[in-house]
Amino acid sequence: MQTASQYCGVWPVMLTPFDEHREIDWASLEKLIEWYLRAGVSGLFANCQSSEMFFLSEAESLQLVRFVLERVDGRVPVVASGHTACALSQQIDQLGKMAETGVDSLILISNRLAAASEGDDTVLNSLQRITAALDDRVGLGIYECPHPYKRLLSDEVVRWCAESGRYTFIKDTCCQIDTIKRRLELTRGSRVHLANANGQTLLASLQAGAHGYSGVMANFHPELYVWLCKHWQDAPEKARIVSDYLATASLAESLDYPICAKDYQVSIGNFRTATSRTRDPAHYYSAHFATNTQQMVRLGETLKTLLAL
């Protein structure tokens, strides 16, 4: 397992490419991995919502993560989830199998810990039982995944994760800088590293002490996020401009994600298709969203040139 100090920087939430028959396209996945690594990312988050994990079989999930680990070959740490089951016993079994792949940290999904109608006491109880059941040689993380519903972490849960000594990684999707600052204070001095998923609050969160970015827009321009995370202190004027662009560009997530990201990957030669198991690409193309995506990416390339990034 990697040391917790490595849970900083940019951690793309990995896409899963599919062929025309909605089967995993392994050749395209290999190209995607190398593309992320060339951008200078710090690590990869495999088998997450962007990977369409709720639409993968358990066997596919395990095969996917093993493939990523094999191709990465230790060049960066890899974390993974695949935490999709409902009953606690199922979840423990599912997560235990994922831990055996050799991932650096195993990422739990907050909405799997309790039904939407249940309180935070249920979340904490489930979290404690799962944590106790998992091999303590693998690091643990937690992700506020918005599907099938969004369960934000309570202060009590964040504090318990920090005090347990088991947790290395929180993928924060609260999108509220005051909440992020409070979570950073609750986890100060612990192994927990907070990765913000929100482009609009990213710079402010880095200034407050957050450790990096783990969001969907790293599937378009990871190198800009890498630059911002590395240089927000030594180049503050450029950082503000880059941050303003990234915050605005993040609105592209509403253009039928993950189709928009897959379409972009097709345009640069990494993917063969924009096929998804979560939605039909037809609406994306009929609504001419592809033009908007291309404009967003092109503006980012212009920005890199103008700022000499």
Catalytic residue status for 230? no
For tokens 């450029």, the residue is: 238
Beta-carbon contacts of 294 under 8 Å, excluding residues fewer than 6 positions away, are: 267
**Under 8 Å between Cβ of 35 and 261:** no
Alpha helix positions (H), the chain: 26-38, 58-72, 88-99, 120-133, 155-164, 177-187, 202-208, 222-231, 236-249, 259-267, 282-286, 289-307
pLDDT exceeds cutoff 90 at 287: no
Backbone angles phi, psi at 89, to 5 degrees: -65, -40
Q: How far apart are CA 93 and CA 178, in angstroms?
A: 36
Given this model, what pLDDT does residue 246 score? 98
Instruction: Please tell me which residue in 143, 167, 213, 284 is annotated as part of the active site.
Output: 143
Residue 255 and residue 287: Cα distance in Å, rounded?
9
Q: Shortest CA distance to 11 belongs to which of 190, 225, 200, 214?
A: 214
- Residues 28-64: tens digit of each pLDDT: 999 999 999 999 999 999 999 999 999 999 999 999 9
The active-site residue, picked from 7, 167, 171, 245, is: 171
Domain residue ranges of the chain, discontinuous segments joined by +: 4-232
pLDDT at residue 5, rounded to an integer: 65
The residue among 288 and 27 whose pLDDT is bigger is 27
Phi and psi of 127, rounded to 5°?
-60, -45
User: Would the pLDDT of 3 be above 50?
Assistant: no
User: What are the tens digits of pLDDT across the range 177-188?
Assistant: 999 999 999 999
- Establish whether 284 is a catalytic residue: no
Write out pLDDT tens, residues 202-223: 999 999 999 999 999 999 999 9
* Residues pairing with 46 in the sheet: 80
Neighbour-count burial for 47-65, b at 16+ CB within 10 Å, e otherwise: bbbbbbbeebeeebbbebb
The Cα–Cα gap between 182 and 177 comes to 9
Architecture of domain 4-232: Alpha-Beta Barrel (3.20)
Query: Cα-atom radius of gyration of the chain, to the nearest Å?
Result: 18
Q: Is the pLDDT of residue 1 over 50?
A: no
Strand pairing of 212-213 and 105-109? unpaired
Structure tokens at 163: 């005090």
What would the mean pLDDT of 78-96 be, rounded to a whole number? Answer: 97
Cα separation, 177 vs 204, in Å, equals 7
Neighbours of 134 (CB within 10 A): 18
pTM of the model: 0.95
Residue 2 has pLDDT above 50, yes or no: no
